[in-house]
Amino acid sequence: MSLDRDRRGGLADNMDKPFLPDLSEHGRAKDGTPLTSNRRLYVQFLAWTGASSLEPLATALASWAHPAALYADLNDPRGLGLALMSENPDFFVTEARAFLARSPFDQLTFKPELAMLGRSYAVGYENDLDEVLLKRPKSRILDPAHPWAIWYPVRREKAFEALPEDQKHEVLMDHGGIGKAFGKAGIAQDIRLACHGLDIHDNDFVIGIVAKELIGASAVVQAMRKSLQTMHHLDSLGPFFAGKVYRQFGSVD
């Protein structure tokens, strides 16, 4: 029998059923009621080198008044990273583009290899989609109690999508459980963003790890090495940016 794609990208055995793309994020209320949302947060991470001081950049960002986190690069004494966020992707090619083309950012050397862009997503069981899609990633990026950060992209092996659903669920639960354990202990939090088609390297995800101490962020990455996903189902990790917040801008609300 010929197979067709269903609304969520799975396979259906009804050729007469039209393919209806569903761009919504899905969750489920505590009473089992399905939830949907078309809101999501886009996060862009960019990096430069050539800054003798971060203060002029911080001053410009404060005047600009958009949510952002400015990082001092741990591995480049003149380097920096910048995390920007918006619900509207037009922001990155209009307001952000114009701002970054002006002084003092136009005096810096851009590092395209560290450019990342991702969008928040739900996996289907969340009972508060606004929290998961908007407030949580933004609050973690802007949390002054977690100033250390590691940002990196992830690309899965394409064969992962061919695994049985129960096996994929086992792999994802194993991987996600590591982040939850560090978060529950108050050591570190993760920001997980979908990146499908949003960069030149065909990455699937952008990951941000924010922590109270550098050891916490590094320990999360170390622990992830032992997960089923990292050991058996990843095609590539990185490149990595490690740094510490110089200043954060904006609020969660």
Which CATH number is 68's domain given?
A: 3.30.70.1030
Q: Which of 31, 43, 38, 28 is closest to 128 using CA atoms?
A: 28
Tokens 């109270």: give the residue: 212
In a domain, 36, yes or no: no
Query: Is residue 37 one of the residues assigned to a domain?
Result: no
CB 115 within 8 A of CB 241: no
User: For residue 168, which phi and psi values (nearest 5 degrees)?
Assistant: -60, -40
Is-contact 114 47, C-beta < 8 A? yes
Alpha-carbon 54 to chain mean position: 24
Domain presence at residue 10: no
Residue at 22 is within a domain: no
Domain extent for 101 = 42-248
| Environment class of 68 (CB within 10 Å of its CB; exposed 0-12, middle 13-18, buried 19+) | buried
Q: Is the pTM of this model over 0.75?
A: yes
Specify the long-range contacts of residues 169-176, CB closer than 8 Å, at least 24 apart: 170/228, 171/227, 171/228, 171/229, 171/232, 171/233, 172/123, 172/229, 174/227, 174/228, 174/229, 175/224, 175/227, 175/228, 175/229, 175/230
As for how many domains the chain has, the answer is: 1
Residue 106 CA, distance from chain mean position: 25
Walk along the chain (253 residues) in steps of 10 and give the mean pLDDT of each run.
41 62 93 94 98 98 97 98 98 98 97 98 91 97 98 83 66 70 93 95 94 97 76 75 97 72
Token readout for 183 is 């978060």
- The pLDDT, as a whole number, for residue 114 is 98
Q: Which residue reads 């010929």 in tokens? A: 2
Is residue 24 in a domain?
no
**Per-residue confidence (pLDDT) for residue 180, from 0 to 100:** 85
Degrees, nearest 5: CA angle 122-199-8: 35
**Residue 14 counted as domain residue:** no
pLDDT of residue 130: 96
In a domain, residue 215? The reply is yes
Residue 160 lies in a domain: yes
